[in-house]
Amino acid sequence: MKNDRHFLEQLSLRFPTADDAAAEVIRLSSMLDLPKGTEHFISDVHGEADLFLHILHSGSGSIRKKIAEELEELSEQERRELAALIYYPSETLARPHTAAWRLGSIYNLVRVSRRLSSKYPREAVRKHLPKKYAPLIEELLTEREEVRDKEAYYRGILNAIEATGQSDAFLSALSVLIRRLAVDRIHILGDLYDRGPGAHMILDALSGFDNVDIQWGNHDVCWIGAAAGSLVCAASVVRNSIKYGNFQTLETGYGLNLLPLARFALEAYADDPCERFAITGNRGYKPFDPDMDRKMHKAISVILFKLEGQLAMRRPEFGLEGRLLLDKLDLSAGTVTIDGKKYPLADRNLPTVDARDPYRLSPAEQKVAERLKDSFLCSEKLKRHTDFLLSHGSMYAVCNGNLLYHGCVPLTEQGELRSVTLGGKRLRGRVLFDALDSWVRRSVYLPECQERDYARDVMWFLWASEASPLYGKERMAVFERYFVDDEGVVRERPNPYYAHLDDPATVEAILREFGLKGGHIINGHVPVRLKKGERPVHCGGKLLMIDGGMSESYRSETGIAGYTLVSNSYGLRLVAHAPFLSREDAVSGERRENPVSEMVEEYPRRLLVRDTDEGKRMSLCIEELYELLDAYRSGLVREKHR
């Protein structure tokens, strides 16, 4: 960059005088030696809105720790009550409280806010201040050395807040500020959708954060595909949601119209009890008509199997020929042939499957599929959330020495990078991830054309293919689970990646493939079955799998309700969460919040902003500004005085 006059001229437009450039050098330099911000890594949320929002509000337990450090004089019960106020101010303030309690709470919240804000530059804190109270909060957070009687000074401010009836609103504003300051950056390692009923609420909450990134999971890309107009992705999303009784996300969250499916299901499967299609259910599932729900479940599943078969034949390079099972049915004999072996059918009532053309949708099924597609395309809220997933998301991320992705890097049995054919090209490793990232975006943003059709089909590859980095299993045995009673045929063998988690050579090779020397791999996707002795930490701490079963359906295997990996200036810490009961339980102050915390790595020295990726960018900017200063002083570039 030395003597690049054009670059320096462009830089001078932002900093038109030497004083402007010098001021920016000072500002950036002052930030480099602040402690590194706290990052939280969370994976496989699966629509568990109440639990996820509690984790966000509590800072994965870090806020309770800050309260204990700053307010040692409070009793344990008082600390729990203050934490409840921070997490859920509206619910807490709806209870009766004295003026003295409100004044004391404001004072305590100011102290906690001051402690958390101490590691941020003032301009970063200002970004989080509510406009209405920004000057007042900044006044309270700033030490005033010239004030002799500080207690009386602050007491006067607090009394004025109470006297003007602003105490509740002010308490809420301070609580939100504390929550924002507790976590500098949030990394979501995929699978925000499905199983739980609140994915739309989770995305609403994440949209309010400035510093969040998402590494897509296979459930996320299936929803993106549905929003982009993929019939097969739309059918899969609806099937998955109905299976778990998750009508709330479909109907209340996104306003999707399920009436055409319901009418068709009641006609096509009128006398069929659909016992194999029972609803798994979640806490939010309150059936109006369980029989109708089962019929809808079966109807959309059969539509899905047909659409999946059409795609498998349309895109042979995806390697999905194992999903061509409808033509292997012998309904008269009541069997299906899978991998060359015949199995008895547990359910042989498939009235819409034509043996002469088994993958063709009936006219009624075609109408249902098209109506569902239109419903997805017309949902404004889903479009907003899809745009957010694309603007803040990617197939992988490299951040502060960590490689983040949802599932796996496809490998051969020998641990080598596996090649995959997409778009006529052989791809593997980072090149494969980059190409898939591009296909995801093209599925949404390209005008209608053959390339966009292919991109939409790639979304199904990502959802279900053995070679997908987001799925990474031998097969997605959905058909087999419904129609075959044989444990062997429903087993989904994982990609060899999972056999190499503790192999240093493989882990280091993957890190090098993505441009890292050392560092950590952090991913989720496969729940860590603690009850069976599995551990989230692999390869001496180089690889961390942080799917701890946030989804209710996995907790019987994991024994916990999810992980947060916390990276702060001192090291890496893994926090295991207990199931979340209710907001009422948290607000009562009776909830004893003791998440289990385990230190994964302790840094030899406290990390500073200068050690982070952002710090390196700031250091480069400082170098460039010094060159601009030299150019101003030498006359190479002239100052632009206003």
DSSP annotation of 494? B
The two tokens of residue 94 are 């709806």
Q: Where are the alpha helices (DSSP H) in 94-146?
A: 99-117, 122-128, 134-141
The predicted pLDDT at position 148 comes to 58
The predicted pLDDT at position 28 comes to 94
pLDDT tens digits for range 46-64: 999 999 999 999 988 889 9
The predicted pLDDT at position 67 comes to 93
How would you list the strands of the sheet with 341-344, edge to edge?
A: 329-330, 335-338, 341-344
Q: Measure the CA angle with vertex 461, ends 457 and 466; round to 5°.
A: 160
Comparing CA positions, the residue from 291, 194, 325 lying closest to residue 248 is 194
> Is the pLDDT at 155 greater than 60, yes or no?
yes
The predicted pLDDT at position 298 comes to 98
Sign for the CA dihedral angle at 440, 446, 451, 452 comes to: positive
The predicted pLDDT at position 592 comes to 57
Coil, helix or strand at residue 252: helix
> Is the pLDDT at 145 greater than 70, yes or no?
no
Sign for the CA dihedral angle at 10, 14, 17, 20 comes to: negative
> Is the pLDDT at 589 greater than 70, yes or no?
no
Total-model pTM? 0.92
The predicted pLDDT at position 532 comes to 83
Average of per-residue pLDDT across 620-639? 94
The two tokens of residue 24 are 């920016």
- Polymer length of the chain: 642
Q: Where are the alpha helices (DSSP H) in 277-317?
A: 290-314
pLDDT tens digits for range 364-416: 999 999 999 999 999 999 999 999 999 999 999 999 999 999 999 999 999 99
User: Across the chain, which distance is largest between two alpha carbons, in Å?
Assistant: 94
> Is the pLDDT at 117 greater than 70, yes or no?
yes
Q: Where are the alpha helices (DSSP H) in 446-582?
A: 450-464, 478-483, 487-490, 504-513, 555-558
Comparing CA positions, the residue from 353, 373, 349, 350 lying closest to residue 361 is 353
Average of per-residue pLDDT across 304-331? 95
The two tokens of residue 219 are 């459930």
Residue 130: pLDDT band (50, 70, 90) is confident
Distance (Å, whole) CA 74 – CA 66: 13
> Is the pLDDT at 587 greater than 80, yes or no?
no
Percent of the chain with pLDDT over 90: 72
Distance (Å, whole) CA 332 – CA 628: 82
DSSP annotation of 386? H
> Is the pLDDT at 1 greater than 50, yes or no?
no
3-state SS record for 164-196: CCCHHHHHHHHHHHHHHHHCCEEEECCCCCCCC
Coil, helix or strand at residue 554: helix
The predicted pLDDT at position 213 comes to 96
Coil, helix or strand at residue 572: strand
Candidate from 128-137, 362-371, 386-395, 444-453 with smallest mean pLDDT: 128-137
Residue with tokens 């701890």: 548
Candidate from 32-41, 232-241, 307-316, 555-564 with smallest mean pLDDT: 555-564
Q: What is the CA radius of gyration of the chain?
A: 28
> Is the pLDDT at 471 greater than 70, yes or no?
yes
Q: Is 477 exposed, middle or buried (0-12, 13-18, 19+ CB in 10 A)?
A: middle
User: How distant, in Å, are the alpha carbons of 40, 179, 351, 369, 370 from that of 363?
Assistant: 49, 53, 13, 10, 11
- How many Cβ atoms sit within 10 Å of the Cβ of residue 223? 30
- How many Cβ atoms sit within 10 Å of the Cβ of residue 378? 13
Q: Which residues contact 337 (CB under 8 A, 6 or more apart)?
A: 328, 330, 343
Percent of the chain with pLDDT over 70: 96
The predicted pLDDT at position 14 comes to 94
The predicted pLDDT at position 123 comes to 81
The predicted pLDDT at position 591 comes to 57
Instruction: Identify the residue with better confidence: 452 or 208.
Output: 452
pLDDT tens digits for range 59-115: 888 899 999 999 999 998 899 999 999 999 999 999 988 888 888 888 899 899 999
Burial code (b: 16+ CB inside 10 Å, e: under 16) for 145-168 equals eeeeeeeeebeeebeebbeeebbb
Q: Which amino acid is at 228?
A: A
Average of per-residue pLDDT across 16-45? 94
Average pLDDT, the chain: 91
Q: Where are the alpha helices (DSSP H) in 401-492?
A: 429-445, 450-464, 478-483, 487-490
> Is the pLDDT at 146 greater than 60, yes or no?
no
> Is the pLDDT at 163 greater than 90, yes or no?
no
